[in-house]
Structure 1
Amino acid sequence: MATAATALLVPVSGTSLGGTPRKNTGLPAAVRKAVGAIEDRTPAHRDRAIDGLRALALLAVPTGHWLLGGFTLDAGGALHNASPLSAFGALAPASWVLQMLGIFFLVGGYASVLSWRRATGRGESTTRWLGGRLVRLGRPVLGVTAVWAAMLPVLHGLGVPEATLRTGATLVIQPLWFVGVYAAVTALTPYCVRAARRMGAWAAAPLLAAVAVVDFLRYGPLADAMPSWLSLLNLLPGWMFAYQLGVSWGERRLGRAAARWLLLGGAALFAALLVFFHYPASMVGVPGVSRTNSHPPSLLVLALAAAQSGAAILLRDRLARLLRRPALWAPVVVINLSAMTILCWHQTALLSAAVPASFLGHLPGLTVAPDSPGWVLVRLAWLPVFAAALLLIGRTTRRFEAPWTGVTRWWRALAAVLAAAFAVFALGLA
């Protein structure tokens, strides 16, 4: 993982797909070898644009969490979550750029329909296809939660305050909600395919309408009479919207003309919701603010997803040409191969710096409250440190993505018990 990842830092070199030699510009031999090996092993039919979009959406997750998530240090030396968005509302547009789950679900729907079609074409049942995909999603989640459950008593014994451990557990488990939602949406792939074949791109419209109705009920004139659980009705249709667009795209029922309408219509709806209906500007939750766009998704999230999906479809060919360059393609492959590792362990990378720093006192950009412009600049300087920590952690933890061959059922049962215990702790149930 580390060798190939260094390709992120180097310019294009080596040999193009067409066999035209490119001039080497002093690249280390190991880097050239890694880039060349990845290029040689890439099948000619590989859709590089789809992988590129997935990698972009994946990288936005840790970048957003690292940039928009801070800490405060209490008198007892314990860490508590804080956000620069609480003090600087002007940073909200950054969340528009970094909130790329719409693209992730779009690409997920596209890739799932192709994978499902190949599986059923060779006689594999839908149940077996779905089981394989769910197992691949579940292994890394089980791994990170089990490891953290084992680490908690050790860290507490080393003097880490319980409040810090709860803060860390909350950060670790927060991104994992995505896996559960993604698994549920993936299970509905056959039904999404049927809808796409009947309605094309319009198959996503009922999902948009459902979210709009729930938003009207919970934010409109009848809001005071609505139950608190009403917003949960947006959870599935909200995140399924872009996935359904991706399925329609994979079924070739969503072309460039429809993509233009998605881009323009999504952008117009996004602006209208902000200006006329006063939706919160931030795409992520802000401490102390009761109304949020993402948990569960509001109509603003779907408007952004529509615009992002339209732009992604329109830029697909250009991105595919760009990724024919071996040194740009290599990091995309590495990121995709480590997708669940990045998702599951990026908050651990942040905590690996913040928890030791909490023993040193108030460290700018890390344990100092994110309430000044200087904090933002210093936090930007911390990002490479977090990335390096994730790379080191990922070298060991990426094995959780691979099949757990040689692991007995007793060890798997123990991992499940530890994972459940961690979830109880992280959710504040114990």
Structure 2
Amino acid sequence: MTDVVAGQPAAAPAPQPLPPRQRSSRGESFRSRIDAATPPERDRAIDGLRALATLGVIVGHWLVGALVVQPDGALQISSPLQTLGWLGPASWMLQMLGLFFLVGGYSAVASQARAQSRGESYRDWVLRRFVRLGRPVVAAISVSAACLLVLGAVGVPTGTLRTWVVLLVQPFWFVLVYAALTALTRYAVAADRRLGAWAALPLFAIVAAGDLLRYGPWQDAVPSWVGLVNLLPGWLFAYQLGVSWARGRLVRRGWWLLLGGGTVAFAVLVLAFDYPLSMVGVPGAERTNSHPPSLLVPALAAIQSGAAIALHRRLNRLLRAPGLWAGVAVVNLAAMTIFCWHQVPMVLVSMGGAVSGEVPGLTAAPEDLGWVLARLAWIPVMAVLLAGIALLTRRFEGPWDGLARGYRLLAAILAVVFAGFAVALY
């Protein structure tokens, strides 16, 4: 870090590059400090799985999302999955929300136990978790409102502004679902006490019943809102597995049952019952596996959970390496900030590309393999931009006690402006 000195120095010497050994030692010092600051009892594998799930979702969205430039210069949301159906199986590896919820359930058990030992009530614990989830969301909405006002004033097409709003808000459903599951932690623990690791099975059955109503012989007589029945149990399935895992279940034999059973269920659903190949929504498709979740979601979550439990010890040993652990720790420290902002770099980079018209892998229509290869080359650019955004906005993920009241009031006003802006665009 450089010191900030008032006034402008005369004839300041040009900064000299650090010798290779010094640069290396600084990197090693950073990694060593993070490693030394980590409590010995910290379960590094859980943090590693959370980081993997976060990055998987982000790369998945960047790969299957496209912003195509229109004749008026506006960016419109599209997807290569519409024209390149063979990309669907890639979403099996990149859709890791089941893994995220597994880790969430595991971590919630330990967190709630620590809160209880401090004398904190369950209600206060839930509210504190809600606040932690909400701060990055409010920050992303407020800062985006200010950016949209500026962009609109300088003439950025309304369609592009609408795309920003949609892509920013789109991931927030996850935050709402995660908050709901957090509030259900006590009941997930109670279910585990009564049923053990089998507590997740009734949730799987509920989703199966919901799919039967939606896609069975009588689907024409069933209202479309019936699919919402799957919303909580579809995602609670993995969260319940995480709760059971934290309570000592699934460790010896349960992981192979999850891995094997999930694989069989997944294969049967795709091959025999024609479930869509993509784990994410495809614009214009009649059926989707994600909103609300179909039975394919808990089936994939079972596979991911079984693999995570099986590899838990090896991953813990692997993350004893300071370099790997430093990367995982950095992602975890800003996980919610990264998640809330990760669609915006795609908009910003595409806005830059739109100046030149149709740029392969960016603003051109995703119609062939060439687009996919070009998009892979653009992903590092988006990653660098996301890292910069996270660096600037990460502070809002922590307590806002040190933030002046005026700034907090401004954030609230901008959040209201964003809501009004979104309503006006639609």
Tell me which residue corresponds to 2:111: 115
* Contact 1:197/1:253 (<8 A) preserved: no
- 1:62 to partner: Cα distance: 1.2
Paired AA for residue 171 in structure 2: P
Indicate how the Cα distance of structure 1 residues 121 and 420 shifts in structure 2: closer, same or farther if over 3 A, else same: same
Tell me which residue corresponds to 2:176: 180
- Matched residue of 2:77: which SS? strand
- 1:422 to partner: Cα distance: 2.5
Answer yes or no: is 1:264 the counterpart of 2:260. yes
Deviates most, 349-358 or 158-167:
349-358
Answer yes or no: is 1:302 the counterpart of 2:294. no
Tell me which residue corresponds to 1:4: none
Q: Which residues of 2 match residues 356-395 of structure 1 at below 5 A?
A: 356-395=352-391
Tell me which residue corresponds to 2:346: 350
Tell me which residue corresponds to 2:278: 282
Tell me which residue corresponds to 1:328: 324
The count of corresponding residues between Structure 1 and Structure 2 is: 408
* Contact 1:170/1:427 (<8 A) preserved: no
Answer yes or no: is 1:85 the counterpart of 2:81. yes
Paired AA for residue 117 in structure 1: A
Indicate how the Cα distance of structure 1 residues 413 and 28 shifts in structure 2: closer, same or farther if over 3 A, else same: same
Tell me which residue corresponds to 1:317: 313
Equivalent of 2:401, from 401, 405, 409? 405
Tell me which residue corresponds to 2:68: 72
Instruction: State which structure, 1 or 2, has the greater radius of gyration over its C-alpha atoms.
Output: 2
Listed one character per residue, the Cα deviations across residues 96-154 of structure 1 (whole Å, up to 9, x for unaligned) are 00000011000000000011011112211111111111111100000001111222121
* Contact 1:79/1:167 (<8 A) preserved: yes
Listed one character per residue, the Cα deviations across residues 50-79 of structure 1 (whole Å, up to 9, x for unaligned) are 111111001112101111111211110110
Tell me which residue corresponds to 1:49: 45
Q: Which residues of 2 match residues 149-164 of structure 1 at below 5 A?
A: 149-164=145-160
* Contact 1:35/1:330 (<8 A) preserved: yes
* Contact 1:234/1:296 (<8 A) preserved: yes
Equivalent of 2:126, from 130, 144, 168? 130
Q: Distance in 2 between matches of 1:372 and 1:25?
A: 46
**Amino-acid identity (%):** 58
TM-score by length of 2: 0.92
Q: Distance in 1 between matches of 2:197 and 2:22?
A: 48
Deviates most, 347-356 or 400-409:
400-409
TM-score by length of 1: 0.92
Q: Distance in 2 between matches of 1:278 and 1:109?
A: 31
Q: Distance in 2 between matches of 1:127 and 1:299?
A: 32
- 1:408 to partner: Cα distance: 4.8
Equivalent of 1:240, from 226, 236, 245? 236
- 1:184 to partner: Cα distance: 0.5
Name stretches of at least 5 consecutive residues in structure 2 with no aligned partner. Answer: 2-19
Indicate how the Cα distance of structure 1 residues 429 and 287 shifts in structure 2: closer, same or farther if over 3 A, else same: same
Q: Distance in 1 between matches of 2:75 and 2:281?
A: 19
- 1:352 to partner: Cα distance: 1.7
- Matched residue of 2:170: which SS? helix
Tell me which stretches of 4 or more aligned residues in structure 1 moved more than 6 Å.
Answer: 24-27
Q: CA RMSD in A?
A: 1.8
- Matched residue of 1:256: which SS? coil
Q: Distance in 1 between matches of 2:140 and 2:317?
A: 36
- 1:416 to partner: Cα distance: 3.2
